[in-house]
Amino acid sequence: MRLEQLQAFLAIAQTGSFQQAARQCSVTQSTISRQIQALEADLGLELFHRTSHAKLTLAGERLLPRVRKICQEWQTATDELADLIAGKQPELCIAAIHSMCAAYLPPVLQKFCHDYPDVQLRVTSLGSDRALKVLKDGLVDLAIVMNNRFLTTGREMVVEVLYDEPIEVLTAANHPLAKYECIPWSELIVYPQVVFKDGYGMQRLIQDRFERLEAKLQAALEVNTLDAFRGVVRQGELIALLPQSALIEARCDPTLAVRPLASNSTGTLPDSSSLTRRVVMVTTQDRLQIPPIKHFWQLVRENIPLQLNQQRSAS
């Protein structure tokens, strides 16, 4: 049983004529006849009385509402897919790390809303691992995250590197580490830290570096927002290792201090310089063919590195 056979059956039932049905379906009358014969052969029942007027048999009458529903569903499906390809999707869902949402995404979001006013833009701030999981589960269309090669590999995945940025130290303004221009790792590892919750790429990055240093990470507290990091560190005891883009507001706060990490030159610890994270944009091959998603992708590619360069020039 094939869709064109059902469509031929429905056309004959609507017009009452094989000839008119053939004209409606843009095929020859002999083609319509063959399609109905094949359908009747599959079902083992005649569907029409062969008279001057194509009248439904009892079996045809029973089948008609089912076929009408099938053809309506198929038409709805094809219309929805056509709208999708034409960029008429109702919403675009983005998952992004906190620092991206706070620092670089707002101008991109505003531009997208101007370019696609009929698409509802939904942005969720998530940790990298969680964002990549919901992308793979089909709950979001695009993720902007700290790279995790174990979660971004796969033939269907498209990964765009946006930037690499250094990890710096956030302390209270009166913390002992604030006296350093560049904080040595030998001093940093002594102090307890506030860290991102499990499932965030930053926690994994910091933990891996401490293991390489054969040092114990004193994770005294876990939080998941930049406001919480600043609020906790401001109290004076705990410190935090955070990416540069997450420290923009902290640099303007007189109660806080931001210091770069010093490279190890004493030989007492393994080389600990160049602690950075890589931020990437990820989607799937099929999603990147959809106009609104492709347009958002291009906006991020054009605007985020530009903003980053302007910020670095200003500092």
Task: Specify the CATH number for the domain of residue 121.
Answer: 3.40.190.10
Give the pLDDT band (50/70/90) at residue 313.
low
Identify whether residues 31 and 61 lie together within a single domain: yes
Average pLDDT over residues 245-259: 93
Helix (H), strand (E), coil (C) string for the chain: CCHHHHHHHHHHHHHCCHHHHHHHHCCCHHHHHHHHHHHHHHHCCCCEECCCCCEECHHHHHHHHHHHHHHHHHHHHHHHHHHHHCCCCCEEEEEECHHHHHHCHHHHHHHHHHHCCCCEEEEEECCHHHHHHHHHCCCCCEEEEECCHHHHCCCCEEEEEEEEEEEEEEEECCCHHHHCCCECHHHHCCCCEEEECCCCHHHHHHHHHHHHCCCCCCEEEEECCHHHHHHHHCCCCCEEEEEHHHHHHHHCCCCEEEEEECCCCCCCCCCCCCCEEEEEEEEECCHHHCHHHHHHHHHHHHHHHHHHHHHHHHC
Q: Which of 53-67, 173-187, 200-214 has the highest mean pLDDT?
A: 173-187
Identify whether residues 42 and 104 lie together within a single domain: no
Phi first, then psi: give them for residue 24, nearest 5 degrees.
Answer: -65, -35
Instruction: Please say if the pLDDT value at position 69 is more than 60.
Output: yes
Average pLDDT over residues 251-271: 75
- 304: containing domain: 91-160+280-314
Identify whether residues 173 and 261 lie together within a single domain: yes
State the pLDDT at residue 113.
Answer: 93
Identify whether residues 272 and 169 lie together within a single domain: yes
Identify whether residues 286 and 149 lie together within a single domain: yes
Domain boundary among 85, 102, 134: 85
Instruction: Please say if the pLDDT value at position 241 is more than 50.
Output: yes
Structural domain total, the chain: 3
Identify whether residues 209 and 270 lie together within a single domain: yes
Instruction: Please say if the pLDDT value at position 159 is more than 50.
Output: yes
Q: How many CB atoms lie within 10 A of CB 58?
A: 10
Domain boundary among 57, 85, 113: 85
Percent of the chain clearing pLDDT 90 (strictly above): 47
Identify whether residues 128 and 182 lie together within a single domain: no
State the pLDDT at residue 265.
Answer: 47
**Rounded Cα distance, 32 and 4, in Å:** 9
Task: Specify the CATH number for the domain of residue 234.
Answer: 3.40.190.290
Phi first, then psi: give them for residue 214, nearest 5 degrees.
Answer: 55, 40
Average pLDDT over residues 212-228: 91
**Rounded Cα distance, 170 and 228, in Å:** 12
Instruction: Please say if the pLDDT value at position 147 is more than 70.
Output: yes
Mean pLDDT score of the chain: 87
pLDDT in tens, 121-136: 999 998 888 999 999 9
**Rounded Cα distance, 115 and 238, in Å:** 44
**Rounded Cα distance, 39 and 301, in Å:** 53
Identify whether residues 265 and 188 lie together within a single domain: yes
Cβ-count burial of 191 within 10 angstroms (0-12 exposed, 13-18 middle, 19+ buried)? middle
Q: How many CB atoms lie within 10 A of CB 13?
A: 20
Average pLDDT over residues 71-98: 82
Identify whether residues 265 and 304 lie together within a single domain: no
Instruction: Please say if the pLDDT value at position 162 is more than 60.
Output: yes
Give the pLDDT band (50/70/90) at residue 140.
very high
Instruction: Please say if the pLDDT value at position 305 is more than 80.
Output: no
Identify whether residues 184 and 269 lie together within a single domain: yes
Instruction: Please say if the pLDDT value at position 271 is more than 60.
Output: no
pLDDT in tens, 16-63: 888 888 888 888 889 988 998 998 898 898 998 877 788 899 998 999
Instruction: Please say if the pLDDT value at position 264 is more than 80.
Output: no
Domain boundary among 40, 61, 85: 85
Average pLDDT over residues 202-209: 89
Identify whether residues 264 and 179 lie together within a single domain: yes
pTM score: 0.73
Give the pLDDT band (50/70/90) at residue 195.
very high
Out of 146-160, 185-199, 238-252, least confident range? 146-160
Identify whether residues 247 and 300 lie together within a single domain: no
State the pLDDT at residue 285.
Answer: 92
